[in-house]
Amino acid sequence: MSFEPFTVVTSPFVALPMQDIDTDRIIPARYLTVTDRSGLAEGLFADWRVDEQGNQRADFPLNHDDARGAQVLVAGENFGCGSSREHAPWALVDNGFRAVISTSIADIFRANALKNRLLAIDVAAESLGQLLEAGFGTVTIDLVERRVDLPGGTSVTFEIDPFARRCLLEGTDELGFLRSKEDAIAAFERRLEPRP
Amino acid sequence: MPTRADTMPSTLYDKLWDAHLVRPESTDTPAVLYVDLHLIHEVTSPQAFDRLRSDGLAVRRPDLTVATMDHSTPTRRDDAGDFLYVTDQARIQVECLASNCGEHQIRLYELGAPEQGIVHVIGPELGLTQPGMTIVCGDSHTSTHGAFGALAFGIGTSQVAHVLATQCLLQRKSKTMRVRVEGSLQKGVTAKDLVLALIQQIGVGGATEHVIEYVGDAVRRLSMEGRMTVCNMSIEAGARAGLIAPDETTFEYLAGRPHAPSADDWDATVARWRELHSDADAVFDREVSMPAAEIEPMVTYGTNPGMSIPLHGEVPAPNGDAAIERALSYMGLEPGVPLLDHPIDVVFVGSCTNSRISDLRAAASILKTRRVADGVRMVVVPGSAAVKRQAESEGLDRVFREAGAEWRDSGCSMCIAMNGDALEAGQYCVSTSNRNFEGRQGRGGRTFLASPLTAAASAVAGCVADPRELLA
């Protein structure tokens, strides 16, 4: 499978200044009975975005006019903790997001995000604080240079697993790589036998 | 080239990792890690099977893949004995798993089957989970199986497709954390309290990027079911996995289970399993210590599992901490007030954390001569059909029913609240499950996580209560 390569994104961002945002928050479990992955944006932050009567909550940042077209989500530390549901990055991507920036991102969420071409970026607390305080604005994420250009002219570099970065830059996915190791997998299985 | 074993002491995690390396990691590429057991369920697998179909791929090892139905499944039936699905979509999802398993010849323990149950309850119960294995599942609580000295962790649906297609995963090696719990737990203090106290101490992101190994005599004295509770909630501290080295308790638990090694292979297998421990001088990236005797029965007051206090403690003041402020607002709680005696509406005993037979026995021991308080709804959901049968053979179902509790069929039920078993907005629930996130048990629902003993005592009192006062 191949995809559009991820190189540089310049986009408005929207900030959720809460820490420990779990994947139940990102998409509540009642949206998980689907058997495909389309249309999940409807469930994105559903209980924060919409009240019990189905009205948009004016005070939720994603509902703000300045969040329109935002492809970058900025959130407090430990983003994506909890359930392993890949529906969380699917919902974010379905809503148009291409990157999440935090000071730390939960392991399973990060792995799921990268497989869906949703870039997960850790930055230092100072940079995150700047973005959270601003609430809205524009950032440029350059995956080639591993750099985020923040509002106000400063830039920070970020770390990313080299393999995940290559897959994103080339628009390839991991399954192709795994399948190319078939000989090694078969050899490993022969070594296993006999095994209880 | 000398292996690690020749050159340096290894942790249990190192040994499990090395034994499953198809291809080592490099700077440029992650390791290719072989998976011994792939557990699947209806919620996180449909899109993975779609991927196989779109790429024209087969399931590489259906013999190492086991499916069950647990998340979207009803725990109630109508008078005709038919399951009551919450929506058609939930039923379709369950049927989709059956269809995918049929198409790919995958063993399925379907709804109504004698082996059906929560995926992390049936794996150990059937003896599928064994020391030394790598086990994955599209479910974060796969860490449960680490209680057997297996490297077990949750994966996303893309990775479910990877494992279905190749029986392998691309992985970077984690860091290691050793959690040492020495001494004896007080009477009435359980494995659940131990792990809640740990998460409170290190935080919900405290073990991110780490695999935890639990050691110490308090861990050794835990039953397998207690160890499963501890490893289960490792993910709530952000850990990749939890591990406990196998010992006599492990071997005794597994002996004679349907998929455990046969009597002929038993001694040789156990001899191999005995090698599965960290070397005495192995070095961990982080060390954490908790004296067992200081652990009190714990209860959560907030909206993540790290926000807990001892039963007799007070809800903390935010003091400028926005997360606590927000949590108290959602929970409708005042700082500086104990949770003890706080009125409750619902008690849920169940989930992959605490739905095994010992959990039901503990809850029943409190309810035996008592009744659920007026106005409180108590729902007891056994972790598997086998746990349900065992409980019924011991008369525990009668204890629960006669006390006024609902006795259900097995499944995840009100832990994830996607099958119709849910809290109403504003309700308070003492729950033996693993997550007190906002809305986790139903939109607007408010969860106090606790042990089965505390849950049962609270059901009787109609408010958060200390079980130690009711223990014989």
Does residue A169 sit at the B interface (CB-CB below 8 Å)?
no
State the pLDDT at residue A196: 42
Question: pLDDT tens digits for A164-188?
Answer: 999 999 999 899 999 999 999 999 9
In this structure, what token pair is assigned to residue B292?
């067992």
Which pLDDT score, from 0 to 100, does residue A194 have? 57
Closest listed residue to residue A124, CA positions, set A140, A104, A109: A104
Q: Does A29 touch chain B (CB under 8 A)?
A: yes
Q: Which of A53, A174, A178, A193 to mutate to test the interface with B (most CBs of B within 10 A)?
A: A178
List of chain B residues whose C-beta atoms are within 8 Å of the C-beta of residue A110 = none
**Is A83 within 8 Å of chain B by CB?**
yes
Are B227 and B358 in contact, with CB atoms under 8 Å apart? no
Closest approach of chain B CAs to the CA of A25, in angstroms? 7
Judged by CB atoms closer than 8 Å, whether chains meet at B170 and A174 is answered as: yes
* Contact (CB<8Å) A84/B92: no
Q: List CB contacts (< 8 A) between B417 and chain A.
A: 29-30
Q: Rounded to an integer, what distance in angstroms lies between the CA atom of residue B68 and that of residue B119? A: 6
Nearest-by-Cβ selection for B204 from A1, A20, A162: A20
Q: What is the pLDDT of residue A1?
A: 74
Largest CA distance in chain A: 63
How many inter-chain contacts (A to B, CB under 8 Å) are there? 174
**Calpha distance B218→B335 (Å, rounded):** 32
B12: left (phi over 0), alpha (psi -120 to 50) or beta: alpha
Contact B30 A161 (CB under 8 A): yes
CA distance B449 to chain A (A): 15
* B165/A179 CB distance under 8 A: yes
CA distance B58 to B365: 49
Low-confidence ranges of chain A (pLDDT < 50): 196
Asked whether the beta carbons of A97 and A118 are under 8 A apart, the reply is: yes
pLDDT at site A76? 97
Closest of B435, B472, B423, B430 to residue B455, by C-alpha: B430
Work out the minimum CA distance from B270 to partner chain A, whole angstroms.
11
In this prediction, residue A2 carries a pLDDT of 78
| CB neighbour class for B41 (10 Å; exposed up to 12, middle 13-18, buried from 19) | buried
Whether A172 has its CB under 8 Å from any CB of chain B: the answer is no
CB contact under 8 A, A30 and B50: no
Closest-CA distance, A29 to chain B, in angstroms, reads 6
Q: Do B138 and A24 touch (CB under 8 A)?
A: no
pLDDT of residue B318: 96
- Global pTM reads 0.97
Q: What is the pLDDT of residues B353-412, one digit of tens each?
A: 999 999 999 999 999 999 999 999 999 999 999 999 999 999 999 999 999 999 999 999
Task: State whether A35 and B165 contact (CB < 8 Å).
Answer: no
Looking up tokens 């919902």 gives: A91
CA distance A15 to chain B (A): 15
Q: Which residues of chain B have pLDDT under 70?
A: 1-7, 472
Preceding omega of A196 cis (within 30 degrees of 0)? no
Tokens 């962790």 -> residue: B153
Closest-CA residue of chain B to A175: B162
- In this structure, what token pair is assigned to residue B64? 């190492």
Per the CB < 8 Å rule, is B22 touching A184? Answer: yes
Q: At what angle do helices B357-367 and B396-403 cross, to 10 degrees?
A: 40
A18 CB burial (10 A radius; 0-12, 13-18, 19+): middle
Lateral strand order in the sheet of B286-291: B241-243, B210-215, B175-182, B286-291
pLDDT tens sequence across B305-344: 999 999 999 999 999 999 999 999 999 999 999 999 999 9
**Are B22 and A184 within 8 A, CB to CB?**
yes
- Cβ contacts of B96 on chain A, cutoff 8 Å: 35
Q: Do B304 and A17 touch (CB under 8 A)?
A: no
How far is the alpha carbon of A106 from chain B, nearest alpha carbon, in Å? 7
